[in-house]
Amino acid sequence: MIANRSNKPKYLWIKEAILERIRYGEYTANQQLPSRDVLSSEFNTTMATCSRAIEELRLEGVIDCRNGVGTFVSKQLPGYHSTKVCIVIPNVALPFYCHFLDVTVHRLQETSYICGNVGIVGRDEQNETTLVRRFLQQRESVIFLKRFQRSETRDLILESPERFYVFGDAPELVGRTNLLRSRLPAGTRLAVEHLLAFGHRRIAFVGPTGDGEMSQHLAWRKTLIDHRVNPDRDLEYVLGDFESLDRASRNQRIGAILDTMCSLAEAPTAVFAYSHSVAVHLISMAERRGITVPDKLSVCGFDAGASEGPGFHHLTAVHLPLEPLVNAAINHLSLPHPRFLDVWLTPDLVIGDTTGPVGAEHGLVAATAGGAAGRRS
């Protein structure tokens, strides 16, 4: 018995399962399919549901129903590409990486590529090189690598550069392997200029540490300076390894930052948070303290595609162009003798309801003491 683990209607799920078996050659042209009774037992559903799936396939000309005989595959579908795509991501704690994985797997399925193994590095960075080396041992495999941190991994990339699609900024690999990047500082500029257009001048930066986040911090400062706004160092906050914390510790750390903001003689009216989860926790903790968003505090986030916020909010956020980048990589796979790919795209800003103009009521109220914030020194 096969259980349905998707949210699709069962008949569509059964239809796709049969199509996949035809593509893989499990069911070949002119081969008789199992009876509806057998299929209903296998897929744990009714014969009526199986009949609907069969009828959909018949209308598409994939199968042929012969009265009194049975149901047969009428034609052989184009098979899957022989190339197997393995995926390596740093972790599943960030919505960004989960969204990248979902987009990639979905597009591979749509384009008849085999999605091979998925490797999650986790906290031990040595897993990154171990996973990459293991996937390289598979025949006809390529690796979609979302960011890498180890020099050993870079060496493996340079040994077999045609087998890698590296998603992330790696200037040392330009022209030496397939590279797909987002202009992260440009995304930050979009967000900060959006807040400036609403009249905000006290715009805080809140985010975790690391090279990527540092580029966003520098872009935040440069954008403010370009618009003749002083990037006050009292408005720069870092959170350390925020994603590894449990919910209570995250709330405590965000609460401490809000305490510090509220203690300033001139508190911020807006925040740019370089992380979806940071923005969501910030909004949640602010509203617990009576700091309504966006009436008293505007919040802009930065993430791949998840724009939902806490409660009824729809987060204003920079969205990285994951779908176009993944599409570019998959299209490149089909080229006979391709050159190395170098794609560099600019993110979009999706406007939600967590940002608004500075009004008479804008400003932070005193918050309950919650400890020292992670302000930059």
Relative to beta strand 178-182, strand 164-167 is: parallel
65 plus 109 within the same structural domain: no
Nearest Cα to 267, choosing from 302, 288, 298, 224?
298
Q: Is 22 part of any domain?
A: yes
Q: Residue 108 falls within a domain, yes or no? A: yes
Q: What is the pLDDT of residues 178-235, one digit of tens each?
A: 999 999 899 999 999 999 999 999 999 998 655 445 788 899 999 999 999 999 888 9
pLDDT at site 77: 66
CA–CA separation, 179 and 165 (whole Å): 6
Q: Are residues 236 and 268 in the same domain?
A: yes
Q: What is the mean pLDDT of residues 125-143?
A: 93
Helix (H, G, I), strand (E, B) or coil at 109: helix
Same domain, 220 and 284: yes
Confirm whether 79 is domain-assigned: no
Are residues 98 and 45 located together in one domain of the fold? no
Do 193 and 231 sit in the same domain of this protein?
Answer: yes
Q: Residue 377 falls within a domain, yes or no?
A: no
One domain, residues 107 and 230: no
Q: Is 214:274 a contact under the CB 8 Å cutoff?
A: no
Cα 54 from Cα 60, distance rounded (Å): 10
DSSP state of 87: E
CATH number at residue 47: 1.10.10.10
Residue 370 lies in a domain: no
- Determine, yes or no, domain membership for 374: no
At 233-269, the pLDDT tens digits run 889 998 877 777 888 888 899 999 999 999 999 999 9
Structure tokens of 247? 């919910």
Range of the domain at 213: 185-319
- Widest CA span in the chain: 85
Question: What's the structural domain count of the chain?
Answer: 3
Residue 268 sits at φ, ψ, to 5 deg, of -70, 150
Q: Does 358 map to a domain?
A: no
306, 198: one domain: yes
**How do residues 46-83 score in pLDDT, each as one tens digit?**
999 999 999 999 888 889 888 888 999 987 666 667 78
CATH number at residue 166: 3.40.50.2300
**Per-residue b/e over 20-45, b at no fewer than 16 CB within 10 Å?**
eebbeeebeeeeebeebeebbeebeb
Strand order in the sheet with 141-146: 114-120, 84-89, 141-146, 164-167, 178-182, 342-345
Clarify whether residues 179 and 326 are in a common domain. yes
Reply yes or no: is the peptide bond before residue 294 cis, omega within 30 of 0: yes
Return mean pLDDT, the chain: 85
For residue 319, give the 3-state DSSP assignment.
Answer: strand
Angle at 130 between CA 126 and CA 135, to 5 degrees: 150
Rounded alpha-carbon distances, angstroms, from residue 50 to 146, 205, 275, 280: 39, 55, 44, 43
User: How sure is the predictor about 370, in pLDDT bands with cuts at 50, 70 and 90?
Assistant: very low
The structure's pTM equals 0.72
In a domain, 1, yes or no: no
Q: Are residues 195 and 313 in the same domain?
A: yes
